[in-house]
Amino acid sequence: MSARLKVVHVGKFYPPYPGGMESHLATLCGELVDDVDLRVIVAHDGRETVSETVDGVPVLRIGTAAWISSATVNPGMAAAIRGSGADVVHLHHPNPTGVLSYLASGSRAPLVVTYHSDIVRQRVLRTLFWPVQHRFLRRAHAIIASSPDYAASSPVLRRHADRVRVIPFGIRPDDAGTPDPATVAMLRERYGARVVLAVGRLVYYKGFDYLVRAMDSVDGHLVIVGDGPMHRELERLAAEQGIAGRVTLAGRVDSVASHYAAADVFALPATARSEAFGLVQLEAMAAGLPVVNTQIPSGVPFVSRDGQTGLTVPPRDPAALAAALTRLLDDVGLRTRLGRAARERVSTEFSAERMARDTLALYHEAAGRPMPAIPTSRPE
């Protein structure tokens, strides 16, 4: 039997550090750790370098010497990549520190890149980094896009279309945790029978300000789970509209799963391509919730399909949002049918197992090794 492939993932950070890229990285590595010789190299938010094992995954957190804007400076990262002996390097992008470290490492291992998102808002960084990014992407054997929609809409990915492979992100059934019946009952009593749920950081591209405006015309209670810089602005907006009693900014919660179970409809009113996929949609869909999302040029409307697993409306349109939310809250039959289809779509199209299997096949292709047979189900 041939030795397992040695695969090194290079990310920004790794859980318990929060974030969408970090969540995806942990899910993928958790699925792959039994099939490859795996190691993760990321930045540490402190100055020291720390080696540890997180849920069975070896993680090397390289000490951060400085921060430039939101990017870390990690002088030891290039040496860690160079000394890893990897058969395949898998880098998660956008990640200027990781890209520069990979190029400086001189690694000759085949490169796989997961392209999470374009650099959208940081125009100066995008302009300065453009030539380096394209030099880096030309080195890649394959560039993974999370949806065909994002692959088609990204100017960067279109330039490297010959190397783009679509492997949708996936989740495990218990990624959001397990609902607690007592907590669900308490939330229902607190918020009532018509609950609209949103989950995410309180930042501009999530569109939560438009969602709060929409609630002025919706008979229901909006609960937003998450924290971020727009917290006070959203509080002020709800108060100005006279609906503060029907809008709850819950912050971080102990049980997101219980909030999904207590809700009737899920909303992701994203306004910009910075929301490249919307992993929270998968969690909500797995919980059987229909989704109201927006027709932005990213993977968001690909994840939850209009008329199939939810309703899709134009971005930045509170009236359209309100109409879609009201339609679902009023029509229990439609809500149930779309929620059931949402759960089925996650299990068939967006499972972590399927994502890992397709990624593993790509590793073997990049390394020029035959793909080994993998059991259809793993032992408990």
pLDDT number for residue 337:
98
Buried-exposed string 292-319: b where 16+ CB fall within 10 A, e elsewhere:
bbbebebbbbbbbbeeebbbbbebbbbe
pLDDT digits (tens, 9 = 90+) for 46-86: 999 999 999 999 999 999 999 987 789 999 999 999 999 99
| pLDDT beyond 70 at 377 | no
Q: Work out the pLDDT band at 350, boundaries 50, 70, 90.
A: very high
Domains 6-170+351-367 and 181-349 share a fold: yes
| pLDDT beyond 60 at 244 | yes
In the chain, where the domains are located: 6-170+351-367, 181-349
| pLDDT beyond 50 at 172 | yes
Q: Work out the pLDDT band at 124, boundaries 50, 70, 90.
A: low
Superfamily of domain 6-170+351-367, CATH level 4: Glycogen Phosphorylase B; (3.40.50.2000)
Show the 3-state SS of 70-107. Answer: CEEECCCHHHHHHCCCCCEEEEEECCHHHHHHHHHHCC
Fold of 181-349: Rossmann fold (3.40.50)
pLDDT digits (tens, 9 = 90+) for 248-264: 999 999 989 999 999 99
pTM of the model: 0.91
Give strand pairing partners of 51. 60
